[in-house]
Amino acid sequence: MIIDLRSDTVTKPSKGMLEAMLNAQVGDDVYKEDPTVNALEERIAKMFGKPKALFFPTGSMANQAAIKLHTNPGEQVICDKYAHVYNYEGGGASFNSGVSCRLIDGDRGMFTANQVVESINPPDFYHSPLTSLVAVENTTNKGGGACWDFEEIKKIRTICDDHDLGYHLDGARLWNALVAKGETAAQYGDLFDTISVCLSKGLGCPIGSVLVGNEDIMQGAIRIRKIFGGGMRQVGYLAAAGLYALDHHVERLAIDHSKAQEIGAVLSNLSMIKVVEPIETNIIIFEVQPDVNETAFVQQLADANIHIIGMGGGKLRIVTHLDYTDAMHDKLLGILQSM
Ligand SMILES: *Cc1c(COP(=O)(O)O)cnc(C)c1O
């Protein structure tokens, strides 16, 4: 039994999902003739109360397309120093859109409306880059699956309105936040201009992300996706996995969250662990004591067929997911308790 807790992206399609994929009606999606992709896009657009949605192969491409749609070269995006769009998309913001990122020193990947205000360059001061977009991430990845306070997200909307800034949500794990906080997609659709969501993380699809947004801004999205090389053909087979996941894999995220809590409780009791960061969803970030070799710790688990990941700076990460079974959970807890 191999227990892979490096990420929630390691899941493989279940039998039911594969069946849904096999039975999909497909067409050429570059001509917008794939009925299953169209159905997925309509369904997600409706969930968020947005007029338009577009299927993307990856979350990075969906985020990068959003940045491109919101900005012109030379401009600046405000995001947290932990942001995925800044840290883990290969420098795409500068490569694809010619923009820089103004990093906020936030708390576990989250920041306040006041910090946004402080980060906006005065638009008439032509020496500094023109601020054009605020990007928020919920849940935060590097921040350990933390969920934003919805009131702060609302306040930032007002700031964006006052300063004529675009407002993008990287919602790769928004499903986890919705389940953990009892929020709805429509609440988020109400506030953001664009939102990207991943189907290939907690929802267990092999691939797929969707960008939703307002009519005006999404008008250019299909062209940008084409330019980025993301126009796909009979991709309904993959959209079918997404539709299946929306039916079967959203509410169950609560199971991943409670398992994460249980792992965190065991870790907190181990003398070799210095600190376990607050656990709100399915990500557990923790640090070993200074006298414990973190590589050796990871290797000791790997020798027991348990795989976790180092995040640098002495931090380690465990992520629970759909393919992490009760039996695996019992085994992991037992091994940790014996360490
Ligand atoms: C995983 C992730 C993405 C997208 O990643 P892809 O691997 O490109 O699908 C975007 N944002 C966050 C916060 C993520 O965790």
pLDDT in tens, 197-209: 999 999 999 999 9
Find out whether the peptide bond into 295 is cis, omega within 30 degrees of 0. Answer: no
The gap from C-alpha 120 to its chain's centroid, in whole angstroms, comes to 25
- Chosen domain end from 218, 248, 278: 248
**Ligand 1 mean position, distance from CA 110 (Å):** 16
**Ligand 1 mean position, distance from CA 217 (Å):** 21
Tens of pLDDT, residues 217-234:
999 999 999 999 999 999
* Token pair belonging to 261: 């809590």
Task: Find out whether the beta carbon of 172 lies less than 6 Å from any atom of ligand 1.
Answer: yes
Tens of pLDDT, residues 238-256:
999 999 999 999 999 999 9
pLDDT class for 312, splitting at 50, 70, 90?
confident
Q: Please choose, from the candidates 110, 129, 113, the residue with its C-alpha nearest in 3D space to the C-alpha of residue 121.
A: 129
- Chosen domain end from 248, 271, 286: 248
Q: Please choose, from the candidates 171, 173, 202, the residue with its C-alpha nearest in 3D space to the C-alpha of residue 188.
A: 171
Q: Do 275 and 244 sit in the same domain of this protein?
A: no
> Is 313 or 245 the better-scoring residue by pLDDT?
245
> Is 176 or 313 the better-scoring residue by pLDDT?
176
Q: Which residues pair with 287 in a beta bridge?
A: 275, 315
Task: Find out whether the beta carbon of 65 lies less than 6 Å from any atom of ligand 1.
Answer: no
Task: Find out whether the beta carbon of 60 lies less than 6 Å from any atom of ligand 1.
Answer: yes
pLDDT class for 26, splitting at 50, 70, 90?
very high
Cβ atoms of 137 and 84 closer than 8 Å: yes
pLDDT for the residue 180: 98
Q: Do 197 and 265 sit in the same domain of this protein?
A: no
Angstrom CA distances, 66 to 144, 160, 203, 273, stand at: 24, 16, 22, 39
**Ligand 1 mean position, distance from CA 222 (Å):** 20
**Ligand 1 mean position, distance from CA 73 (Å):** 23
What are the residues whose beta carbons fall under 8 Å from the beta carbon of 228, sequence distance 6 or more?
61, 64, 65, 96
pLDDT class for 16, splitting at 50, 70, 90?
very high
Q: Please choose, from the candidates 162, 163, 160, 136, the residue with its C-alpha nearest in 3D space to the C-alpha of residue 150.
A: 136
Task: Find out whether the beta carbon of 36 lies less than 6 Å from any atom of ligand 1.
Answer: no
Exposure string for 150-183, b = 16+ CB within 10 A, e = fewer: eebbebbbebbeebebbbbbbbbbbbbbbbbbeb
Phi, psi of 167 (to 5 degrees): -135, 110
pLDDT for the residue 311: 87
Task: Find out whether the beta carbon of 63 lies less than 6 Å from any atom of ligand 1.
Answer: yes
Q: Do 34 and 162 sit in the same domain of this protein?
A: yes
Q: Does residue 313 have a pLDDT over 90?
A: no
**Ligand 1 mean position, distance from CA 82 (Å):** 13
Neighbours of 220 (CB within 10 A): 13
Look at the chain and report how many structural domains it folds into. 2
Ligand 1 atom closest to the CA of 89, numbered from 1: 8
Q: What is the CATH number of the domain that holds 43?
A: 3.40.640.10
Section 291-310 average pLDDT:
94
Q: Do 220 and 270 sit in the same domain of this protein?
A: no
Averaged pLDDT score across all residues of the chain: 97
Tens of pLDDT, residues 268-279:
999 999 999 999
pLDDT for the residue 70: 98
d(CA 197, CA 227): 20
Enter the pTM of the model.
0.97
Q: Do 238 and 270 sit in the same domain of this protein?
A: no
Cβ atoms of 333 and 263 closer than 8 Å: yes
Residue to mutate (ligand 1; options 67, 84, 168; most atoms within 8 A of CB)? 84
Q: Do 53 and 198 sit in the same domain of this protein?
A: yes
- Chosen domain end from 248, 282, 308: 248
- SS3 for 223? helix
Q: Do 281 and 235 sit in the same domain of this protein?
A: no
d(CA 93, CA 61): 11
pLDDT class for 213, splitting at 50, 70, 90?
very high
pLDDT class for 327, splitting at 50, 70, 90?
very high
Q: Does residue 314 have a pLDDT over 90?
A: no
Neighbours of 246 (CB within 10 A): 17
Task: Find out whether the beta carbon of 139 lies less than 6 Å from any atom of ligand 1.
Answer: no
pLDDT class for 258, splitting at 50, 70, 90?
very high
Q: What is the CATH number of the domain that holds 297?
A: 3.90.1150.10
Q: Which ranges of 133-273 does DSSP label H, i.e. alpha helix?
A: 150-163, 174-181, 185-191, 215-218, 221-227, 236-248, 253-268
- SS3 for 76? strand
pLDDT class for 236, splitting at 50, 70, 90?
very high
Q: Do 195 and 59 sit in the same domain of this protein?
A: yes
Q: Do 187 and 299 sit in the same domain of this protein?
A: no
Structural domain boundaries enclosing 325: 3-9+251-338
Q: Do 229 and 257 sit in the same domain of this protein?
A: no
Task: Find out whether the beta carbon of 121 lies less than 6 Å from any atom of ligand 1.
Answer: no
Ligand 1 atom closest to the CA of 170, numbered from 1: 11
Q: Does residue 76 have a pLDDT over 90?
A: yes
pLDDT for the residue 65: 98
- SS3 for 113? helix
Maximum CA extent, the chain: 62
pLDDT for the residue 248: 98
Q: Do 240 and 255 sit in the same domain of this protein?
A: no
Cβ atoms of 168 and 193 closer than 8 Å: yes
Task: Find out whether the beta carbon of 66 lies less than 6 Å from any atom of ligand 1.
Answer: no
Task: Find out whether the beta carbon of 59 lies less than 6 Å from any atom of ligand 1.
Answer: yes
**Ligand 1 mean position, distance from CA 86 (Å):** 11
Q: Do 214 and 331 sit in the same domain of this protein?
A: no
- SS3 for 143? coil
pLDDT class for 148, splitting at 50, 70, 90?
very high
Q: Does residue 39 have a pLDDT over 90?
A: yes
The sign of the CA dihedral 24, 27, 30, 31 is negative
Residue to mutate (ligand 1; options 87, 88, 176, 207; most atoms within 8 A of CB)? 88
Q: Does residue 111 have a pLDDT over 90?
A: yes
**Ligand 1 mean position, distance from CA 35 (Å):** 26
Task: Find out whether the beta carbon of 170 lies less than 6 Å from any atom of ligand 1.
Answer: yes
Q: Whose CA is nearest to atom 6 of ligand 1?
A: 59
d(CA 54, CA 299): 41
